[in-house]
């Protein structure tokens, strides 16, 4: 291939553009919004993940561990704020000890620097934490992912890459002699290959291109609070719960950001629009599409009661949200937190109701489609880009 069109201007799309450019290809990036990193990248927790949680040998495990190093190196090279501060995963109940031990085993298998510590040792890092045991993970960090995207855009612009905002992919077809043609409403982009990094719309872009994706994007909103400025001292770094192995999400946690603020969350509720950052954000098309998908009903049957109901209650109840945080740091009260914002996770789901646990990348002639890239995709962006570039170059 000589030239490639990338659909999607989040961190993965921009990282792919940078990697392909470095390999000598001509690249066009299409982003439907008026700014880069407008959705998942611009609304995430800004945590550089260590690779702790993921099944050994999986894409997530391998790319997160490698990405932890490469994204930090990139940030330091190009002046992006980053801090490798480590984190605590805390067991607040004896019943969580087996799951904590499993995490420690996964950390060792994945090559993540982590060690079990006692409650007294945990309080040396976090004086206000409550736990019966903890896992200290040294390589976790915090970063400004939108600033990473700004750096990538600057590098791409300097390299002469065709960067187009306000340019949605409205139609895609195979070229008469191979390659692809992408209609944006303004013109038609003709390229030898297509890379779909459209995040929340990745399955729709895949269908536009003639692919029948093996999974569907179902949007889940994660809502955040933050500690009031006068209560930020309750948290020194990052405090995570032991995730329930029977549930698909990590649970609410506390994260000190680069500016000193402390974010708390997220919960996980079904969004009523693919870009639905509030309960009032509603799309009849998106809701109808979700309602018609059998996988959603199968997932609901498994998790709606009590887990899903509890998440919805916590969405509406500041008191319940604070109580979840108080399991980690008992001094946190309802009066200590204020709403901060939310993000929407593009979660790929199969028809049987199972959530796609790993990164999902599918290919067709002259096409590569990134169909599932939730956390730790931002951490792993440069590694995902290398993987995709290898496929494009093959």
Contact 363, 391 (CB under 8 A): yes
> Can you give the chain as a three-state secondary structure string?
CCEEEEECCCHHHHHHHHHHHHCCCEEEEECCCCCCCCCCHHHCCCEECCCCCCCCCCHHHHHHHHHHHHHHHHHHHCCCCEEECCEEEEECCHHHHHHHHHHHHHHHHHCCCEEEECHHHHHHHCCCCCCCEEEEECCCEEECHHHHHHHHHHHHHHCCCEEECCCCCCEEEECECECEEEECCCCEEEECEEEECCHHHHHHHHHHCCCCCCCEEEEEEEEEEEECHHHHHHCCCEEEECCCCCCCCCCCEEEECCCCCEEEECCCEECCCCCCCCCCCCCHHHHHHHHCCHHHHHHHHHHHHHHHHHHHHHHHCHHHHHHHHHCCCCCCCHHHEEEEEEEEEEEEECCCCCECCCCEEEEECCEEEEEECCCCCCCCHHHHHHHHHHHHHC
pLDDT at 247: 66
**DSSP of 101-165:** HHHHHHHHHHT--EEEE-HHHHHHH-TT---SEEEEESS-EEE-HHHHHHHHHHHHHHTT-EEES
Sign of CA dihedral 374, 380, 386, 390: negative
pLDDT at 246: 66
pLDDT at 309: 84
Pairing mode of beta strands 26-30, 3-7: parallel
Angle at 155 between CA 149 and CA 158, to 5 degrees: 140
pLDDT at 7: 98
Helix H or strand E segment including 74: helix 59-77
The strand pairing partners of 83, in sequence order, are 142
pLDDT 10s digits, 288-347: 999 999 999 999 998 877 778 889 999 999 999 999 999 999 999 999 999 999 999 999
Distance CA 129, CA 120 (A): 10
The CA-to-CA distance between both ends of the chain, in Å, stands at 9
Please state the length of the chain.
Answer: 394
Tokens of 342: 């939310």
Residues of the chain with pLDDT under 50: none
The strand pairing partners of 224, in sequence order, are 341
pLDDT at 177: 85
């Amino acid at each position: 291939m000589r030239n490639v069109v990338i659909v999607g201007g989040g961190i993965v799309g921009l990282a792919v553009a940078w990697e392909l450019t470095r390999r000598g290809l001509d690249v066009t990036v299409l982003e439907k919004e008026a700014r880069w990193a407008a959705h998942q990248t611009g609304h995430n927790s800004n945590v550089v993940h260590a690779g702790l949680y993921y099944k050994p040998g999986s894409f997530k495990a391998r790319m997160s561990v490698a990405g932890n190093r490469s994204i930090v190196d990139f940030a330091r090279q190009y002046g992006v704020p980053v801090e490798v501060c480590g984190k605590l995963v805390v067991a607040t109940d004896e019943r969580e000890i087996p799951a904590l031990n499993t995490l420690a085993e996964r950390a060792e298998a994945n090559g993540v620097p982590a060690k079990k510590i006692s409650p007294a040792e945990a309080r040396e890092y976090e004086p206000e934490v409550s736990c019966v045991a903890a896992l200290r993970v040294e390589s976790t960090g915090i970063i400004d992912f939108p600033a990473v995207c700004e750096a990538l855009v600057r590098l791409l612009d300097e390299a002469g890459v065709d960067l187009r905002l306000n340019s949605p992919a409205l139609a895609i077809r195979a070229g008469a002699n191979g390659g692809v043609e992408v209609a944006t409403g303004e013109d038609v982009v003709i390229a030898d290959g297509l890379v779909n990094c459209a995040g929340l719309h990745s399955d729709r872009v895949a269908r536009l291109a003639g692919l029948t994706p093996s999974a569907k994007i179902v949007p889940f909103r994660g809502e955040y609070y933050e500690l009031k400025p006068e209560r930020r001292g309750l948290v020194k770094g990052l405090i995570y719960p032991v995730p329930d192995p029977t549930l698909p999400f990590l649970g609410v946690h506390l994260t000190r950001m680069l500016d000193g603020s402390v974010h708390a969350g997220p919960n996980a509720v079904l969004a009523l629009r693919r870009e639905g950052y509030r309960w009032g954000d509603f799309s009849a098309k998106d809701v109808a599409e979700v309602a018609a998908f059998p996988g959603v009903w199968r997932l609901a049957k498994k998790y709606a009661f009590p887990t899903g109901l509890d998440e919805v209650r916590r969405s509406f109840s500041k008191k319940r949200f604070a109580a979840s945080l108080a399991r980690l740091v008992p001094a946190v009260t309802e009066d200590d937190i204020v709403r901060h914002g939310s993000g929407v996770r593009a979660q790929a789901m199969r028809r049987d109701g199972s959530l796609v646990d790993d990164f999902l990348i599918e290919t067709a002639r002259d096409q590569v489609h990134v169909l599932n890239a939730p956390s730790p995709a931002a951490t792993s962006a440069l590694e995902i880009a290398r993987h995709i570039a290898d496929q494009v170059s093959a």
